[in-house]
């Protein structure tokens, strides 16, 4: 299953945290021309390095399908960025 929602929260000292929800599907539709160029570039790179194009694209789809449930927490000094993929 493709990820549906990306939640980004930025905690800053002395200020209210910023929380942003990004729906994934509309962003993919808006950025679809870029996605097509990336897929074509990946296919050309596979051909240059003698890698199976179908297998590489299948592996990429498996990685995208495994993203729901992923959390990334980064802290630097007193600022924290929390990213959750649902």
Is 68 strand, coil or helix? Answer: coil
CA distance 78 to 13: 6
CA distance 57 to 39: 8
pLDDT in tens, 4-57: 999 999 999 999 999 999 999 999 999 999 999 999 999 999 999 999 999 999
Domain with 24, as residue range(s), is 5-85
Domains held by the chain: number: 1
- Give pLDDT, residue 2: 82
- Give pLDDT, residue 1: 78
């Amino acid at each position: 299953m493709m990820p549906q929602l990306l939640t980004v929260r930025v905690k800053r000292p002395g200020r209210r945290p910023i929380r942003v929800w990004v729906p994934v599907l509309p962003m993919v539709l808006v950025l679809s021309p870029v996605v097509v160029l990336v897929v074509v570039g990946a296919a050309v790179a596979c051909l240059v390095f003698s890698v199976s194009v179908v297998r590489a694209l299948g592996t990429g789809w498996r990685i995208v399908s495994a993203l729901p449930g992923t959390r990334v927490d980064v802290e630097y000094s007193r600022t924290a960025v929390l990213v959750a993929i649902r």
